[in-house]
Amino acid sequence: MERFQKWLWLFFSVWFVIGLILVGFSLLPPWLEWANAVFLFASGLYAGLYFWHVLPKGRFIIPFIFFGSILIESIGVHTGWPFGTYRYESDFGVQLLGVPITIGAAWLSVMGASLAFSRLFPFRYNTVILVPLFAVWLDLAIDPVAANVKSYWLWQDGGFYYDIPTQNFFGWYGTALVFSLLIARYQGRATNVVLEQNNQYLFLMLHTLFGVTAGVAGLYGVTLISLSALIVYFIMKRGVVVERSTQKQIS
């Protein structure tokens, strides 16, 4: 399993760099659009491995997030609730209930990355409090690019934030909160430091991909939101280093 984790992370990292160049700078040819699905499945699978590790008694949550998110997205596509009225434009491959199954992988990657990132803030109930907020933080970068730049899906109604309905972000928060409550019930300590750290990197890599793409397209507000994730990460990691150094000096 450990070897598989290493090879999967290496594969995803290489795929990310290629995607950052091709997608970020609009160089991806039409015949290579399938690469987006590979990216989502690879990131979702790696986040799934993280869940497998930190949820030893709640591994059913992995398929619950995968299929549950597809079900919720299907309700959203057909009814306009809870995200607002929208439709998928790009072909992301096989669909289930009118929703590309890659959306399930995308939600796994968002939830896994957000959970790992929340571990940088070691306080009580951090999963329930922070993970839904971090999921929305990611969507603030994902949605403007996916809808306005890449046209992966199109919104019927507009909103003040890059013409995206405000309802969408409340829908994201509510969906992520349901998943987070379940995760918090079964989560354990992460003994695999590398796996957790890489999922924190995944959070930053998702922000980087969409932040760069947004910047190239002139959506500078999105780029600043993504940049804030990098700033927060380095501040928190710097704080950990300083704290450990202080503890060593005292001892």
- Give pLDDT, residue 33: 82
Residue 103: partners with Cβ closer than 8 Å, 6 or more residues away: 69, 70, 73, 92
- Which residues make Cβ contacts (< 8 Å) with residue 35, sequence separation at least 6? 15, 18, 19, 22, 28
- Which tens digits make up the pLDDT trace of 30-80? 878 888 899 999 999 999 999 999 999 999 999 999 999 999 999 999 999
- The confidence score (pLDDT) of residue 240 equals 57
Q: State the average pLDDT over residues 151-162.
A: 91
pTM of structure: 0.93
Confidence at 239, pLDDT banded by 50, 70, 90: low
Q: How far apart (Å, rounded) are the C-alpha atoms in residues 120 and 118?
A: 5
Residue 133: C-alpha distances to residues 50, 90, 98, 139, 202 (Å):
19, 27, 27, 10, 16
**pLDDT (0 to 100) of residue 81:** 92
Cβ atoms of 137 and 225 within 8 Å: the answer is yes
The vertex-33 CA angle with 210 and 179, nearest 5°, equals 50
Place of tokens 């995760």: 183
Q: Any idea what the Cα angle at residue 159 is, between residues 157 and 164, rounded to 5°?
A: 75
**Higher per-residue confidence, 107 vs 245:** 107
Q: Count of H helices and E strands in the chain?
A: 8, 4
Pair 214, 155: CB distance under 8 Å: no
Q: 153 - beta bridge partners? A: 88
